[in-house]
Amino acid sequence: MSLLVAFQMDPIGAVNINADSTFRIAEEAQARGHRLFYYTPDRLAFDTGRVTARGWPLTVRREPGNHFTLGPEQVLDLADADVVWLRQDPPFDMGYITTTHILDMIHPKTLVVNDPFWVRNYPEKLLVLQFQDLTPPTMVARDLATLRDFRARHGDVILKPLYGNGGAGVFKLRPDDGNLASLHELFAGINREPLIMQKFLPAVAAGDKRVILVDGEPVGAINRVPQKGETRSNMHVGGRPEKIALSDRDREICAAIGPLLREKGQIFVGIDVIGDWLTEINVTSPTGIQELERFDGINVAAGIWEAIEARRA
């Protein structure tokens, strides 16, 4: 079964072919005989009842500095594609949200991965709020006095943008830290969105575990260890990936959230676990496939494609 697969993603020339999950997914699709098409989100359009993308047929190869070839530019009616991958990185802003509304118009006849309706309704830092027994104390608020009250009750806290990614804008604040008001003022000057505040988990010093789920089932994990003197463990900001096994608690968390993810068409998901606590459920553009494949010797990308091919069959 050969599928026409379109990738809506950030510019392919800048990807790190040894770490980027989208590249690995495309590489595996090509190896399975699927045809690839690539476009950036700004080239998605709704045109008189048709959802189109101006982009290029794509060939990928694992050669640093020469990792892709584009065919002639063309406009593809995405209703003619079998699969569209929604893979641009956040921020989860109105531009991102608009692409999910447009892609809704072709799904599920064209399978959009992950399901754009539920990507829009389940952003990473909000879906976890449905699982209070699995998460550390968490607040979503914009009011400074309310945030101060939360910190007074919980001591050391993490403050971060509600719709950020990659560890950007993440701050650890002690109970006596005088920067909360200044940070609140800074964020308020950028947008009108609430902030998220969570009780700080000292276990992050040992790592922030990224667990990969495929169609609601855990397939493995990597541990991301922060640099010395750093709170954030994201690999975008220097976190070091390490091999780690799934714990009983990881499996308990996945058993609780997996059925919902599967029901809502979230085929490729990465959750973040610190110690025994779930902190994020990443559905927009999760990463970690290549590190997990190297550590555990399993073909995660193949498992993802098996789930997709089963739906297309």
- Tell me which residues are annotated as active site: 125, 160, 210, 224, 232, 272, 280, 282
In degrees and rounded to multiples of 5, residue 196 shows phi and psi of -115, 135
| Whole-number Å distance between alpha carbons of 45 and 137 | 41
> Count of residues for the chain?
313
CA angle 69, 73, 76 (to 5 degrees): 110
CA distance linking residue 94 with residue 163, whole number of Å: 11
Nearest to 210 by CA among 288, 301, 126: 288
Which tokens is 215 given? Answer: 């169609």
| H helix or E strand, kind and range, residue 54 | strand 50-60
User: Which H helix or E strand runs over 5?
Assistant: strand 4-8
Q: Which residues pair with 74 in a beta bridge?
A: 55
Query: What is the C-alpha radius of gyration for the chain, rounded to an integer number of angstroms?
Result: 20
**What is the distance between the alpha carbons of residues 224 and 287, in angstroms, rounded to a whole number?**
12
